[in-house]
Amino acid sequence: MQPFTYFSPTEVVFGPNTQMRAAEYVRRYSGNRALIVYGGGSAVRSGLLNQICQVLKDAQIPCETFGGAKANPTVEHAREGIRIAGEFGADFILGVGGGSAIDTAKAIAIGSANPSTDIWDYWEKRQVPSCAFPVGVVLTIPAAGSETSSSAVLTNTAAGKKRGLNSDWNRPKFAILNPELTFTLPAYQIACGITDIMMHTMDRYFNPIDNELTDSIAEALLRTVIEKGRHAIQNPLDYDSMSELMWAGSLSHNDLTGLGGLRDFAVHQLGHELSAMFDTAHGASLATVWDSWALAVYQEKPERFARFAKNVWGIAGNNTNELALAGIRTTADYFRSVGMPTSFGANKDIGIQDEAALRALAFRCTYQNTRTIGTFKVLDESQIYMIYQNANH
First to last CA, the chain: 39
HSE toward the beta carbon, residue 358, CA cutoff 13 A: 19
Which pLDDT value is given to residue 36?
98
Give the pLDDT confidence of 269-304 residue by residue, as tens digits: 999 999 999 999 999 999 999 999 999 999 999 999
Give the pLDDT confidence of 44-62 residue by residue, as tens digits: 888 999 999 999 999 999 9
Cα 95–Cα 236–Cα 190 angle in degrees, nearest 5: 55
| Mean pLDDT, range 211-230, rounded to an integer | 97
Residue 1's pLDDT band (cuts 50, 70, 90): confident
- Give the largest Cα separation in the chain, rounded: 65
**Could you please report the per-residue DSSP string of 302-331?**
HHHHHHHHHHHH----S-HHHHHHHHHHHH
d(CA 386, CA 295): 11
The ranges of the chain annotated as CATH 3.40.50.1970 are: 11-181
Which pLDDT value is given to residue 45?
86
Decide if 138 contacts 127 (C-beta within 8 A): no
Contacts of 357 (CB under 8 A, 6+ apart): 277
- Radius of gyration over alpha carbons of the chain, in Å? 20
Domain 11-181: state its class.
alpha beta
The ranges of the chain annotated as CATH 1.20.1090.10 are: 187-391
- Could you tell me the pTM of the whole model? 0.95
Domain covering 187-391: architecture: Up-down Bundle (1.20)
